[in-house]
A and B are shown apart, each in its own frame.
Chain A
Amino acid sequence: MTAPETLLQVEDLRVSFATEEGVVRAVDGITFTVQAGEVLAIVGESGSGKSVSVMTLMGLTRGQNARFEGKAMFDGRDLIAASDAELRKVRGAAIAMVFQDPMSSLDPVYRIGAQIIEQIRVHEPKVSKAQALDRAVDLMERVGIPRARDRVRSYPHEFSGGMRQRVMIAMALANSPKLLIADEPTTALAVPIQAQILDELRRLRDQTGAGIILVTHDLGVVADIADRIAVMYAGRIVEQGTLEDLFYDPQHPYTWGLLGSITRVDRNRAGKLPAIPGQPPSLLAPPEGCHFRPRCPHAFDRCTELPELVSRLPEAPEHPDRCWLEPERKRTLRQVGDQIGLATGETVIS
């Protein structure tokens, strides 16, 4: 087995924003890698820092009030320390991004073709407009847009949401990226279209060998397409591992809570869902130690101290988590009936 090429190596990345109310620690020390040809899913709820993390890699969170620490090595270059000009050469070229809402992510006043051509020519100014147009048509055909030759002349509002997301993907592919970042790419789409877009991403990964970071809150999407998962909660990665690890041997109580919270189309209702009580903490003044502690029914004294993100499983060194509980105890605690969940007694007032 040849070792896969590591595309991206993020080390102890921290992002904070100065606001009027105080400093928001949106990302609080995350470490992960992405290999060529793999799909890494970053899972979390709103405010977990998942989107801020990936936007920071692209330099899209830079601003007067933002502070960054840590490293993100890509192609021998640190994306965090890179100048704006250096980063611009990477954006839309070696790293491309697809956003959540295709309805608002395309400029309404330009034709679809012009927007793809702009993406091609900003990195390859020598390509003529006519050549770029041909390439735009090819790209649109590649992502399954029928009659692409005619439809380059359409405006975004003449396209449905699914078609616009295909345009976004075509644009992202324009300069053959090594890393594709997809931030909730299917959330805003109708269910059958979601499946089509996921198929598209999977095909691209297979064809181009690019690495994909998929940011999502939807564990169904994760189960469908991801190779590895990082679960984020309140700015930190609380658990990381393969698909197998996370779904069948989850180590962190927050992961249990997420798995218990989801409704499944293949299951009958079995009474109450083992939901996570309470609300996520404020990132202005997060709790000391483990951020999940206030909502965790299994928390104990030691949880006021922050656990390292390390594997506590001798058999799975690549499956680290941030929880002090003994792995053996976890296996009993996480069982709610016949499924995994967060066992809570009463309905806790939120």
Chain B
Amino acid sequence: MARFVIRRLLAAVGVLIAISVVTFLIFQAIPNGDPAQRIGGRTANAAELALIRHEWGFDKPIYVQYIKTMGKILSGTVVSYSQNLNVLDQIRQGLPATLSLAIGAGIIWLGLGILFGVITAVRAGRFADRALTVLAFIGVSSPPFFLGALAIYYVGYKANIIPLGGYSSLSHPWSWFKHLIAPWLVLSVLFIGIYSRVLRSTILDIQHEDYVRTARAKGLSERQVMVRHILRNSLIPIISLWGLDFAQVIGGGAILTESVFNLHGVGQFAAQSIQRLDVPPVLVITMLTAFFVVLLGALVDVIYAFLDPRIRLSG
């Protein structure tokens, strides 16, 4: 176990360094990406720009800029070019909304994904399977900005059941819930579609395993066979999918959903920063996402080893 933790930590550090270098370089290569112009604004003249460049260190070699920026990130003093605000503070402000979105949606899409997966597998080829299959394809092919817009227009504006966007803190639970229910569902639709299809095909495969036949030969009921033997084994791949997707959303990956519902979460912050070609926030958020992916990846492996005794933890 110690070996596993050490290996994963080293891997995490490697991934974070690699991803920050790549992100940094991409922004250097983008045309019209001169950060001095962002800071100076439209009216800045050449002399002012030169001063800004010198003050911010943009005239130094790239690697020096990278190291300086990373130093600021690690010490928590990094500020955004466009607003001159502390990036970590801004992320901290966005985190409650993003976490609320991720946790709620994660539970919904895992639960409904499993439920629909089991129904379609058990009823394979019959009406329920076909109907849910069509729904799954519609879900998978509907982008969040489209579903979100529909929800806001019909349920929010026309029916006036939910607010028209924004985030309300958890200190007012009912308001919190009303603000989040639509984003949760919109974000979940895509994942429910994918998860139910993956689970359906896994179940259909595992149904033909010899040990399932053994379970039937023991005299177990169909329900017992499904829950104890088929589902238990089929959930293993679903869990790993879930870990990675969940990490993505926590790390601000649900950019579209957050923006459509104006949640002011980490994802929406990322979207705005990218628009402004503002390197420090993008860098920090990218690293944050990578960090969560690595962390959840390790967590998934631990759960894996718990679910499947044949797997032993190793780097």
**A interface vs B, CB < 8 Å?**
58, 60, 84, 88-93, 96-97, 99, 101, 104-109, 118-119, 122-123, 155, 157, 168, 171
Contact = CB atoms under 8 A, between A and B. Distances in A.
9 contacts: A84-B222, A91-B216, A92-B218, A97-B217, A105-B211, A105-B213, A108-B309, A109-B308, A155-B309
Contacts of A99: 210, 213-214, 217
B217 A108 contact: no
A93 B210 contact: no
Secondary structure dominating the interface of B: helix
A97 to B, nearest CB: 5
Contacts of A92: 217-220
B222 to A, nearest CB: 8
B219 A108 contact: no
Contacts of A157: 309-310
B85 interface: no
A107 B215 contact: yes
Contacts of B213: 60, 99, 105
Contacts of B217: 58, 60, 91-92, 96-97, 99
Nearest to B230: A107
Contact of B219 (A104, A109, A122): A122
Interface string B197-228: 00000000000011101111111111010001
Contact of A60 (B216, B224, B229, B308): B216
A67 B157 CA distance: 58
A115 to B, nearest CB: 8
Interface in B136-179: none
A162 to B, nearest CB: 17
B194 to A, nearest CB: 24
Interface residues of B, number: 22
B233 interface: yes
Contacts of A171: 218
B25 interface: no
Contacts, number: 66
A55 B233 CA distance: 24
Contacts of A168: 214
B130 interface: no
A109 B307 contact: yes
Contacts of B232: 107, 109
A118 B211 contact: no
Q: Choose among A88, A90, A93, A109 the residue with the greatest number of B CB atoms under 10 Å from its CB.
A: A109
Given A104-B209, A104-B211, A109 B221 contact: no
Contact of A107 (B216, B219, B229, B307): B229
B98 to A, nearest CB: 34
Nearest to A175: B219
Contact of A122 (B210, B218, B229): B218
A91 B219 CA distance: 5
Given A101-B210, A104-B210, A108-B233, 16 more contacts: A60-B216, A88-B221, A89-B219, A92-B218, A99-B210, A104-B211, A105-B213, A106-B211, A107-B214, A107-B215, A107-B233, A108-B309, A109-B307, A109-B309, A118-B218, A118-B228
A258 to B, nearest CB: 27
A60 B228 CA distance: 18
A106 B214 contact: yes
B277 to A, nearest CB: 50
A122 B220 contact: yes
Q: Choose among B215, B217, B233 the residue with the greatest number of A CB atoms under 10 Å from its CB.
A: B217
Contacts of A93: 219
A6 B170 CA distance: 73
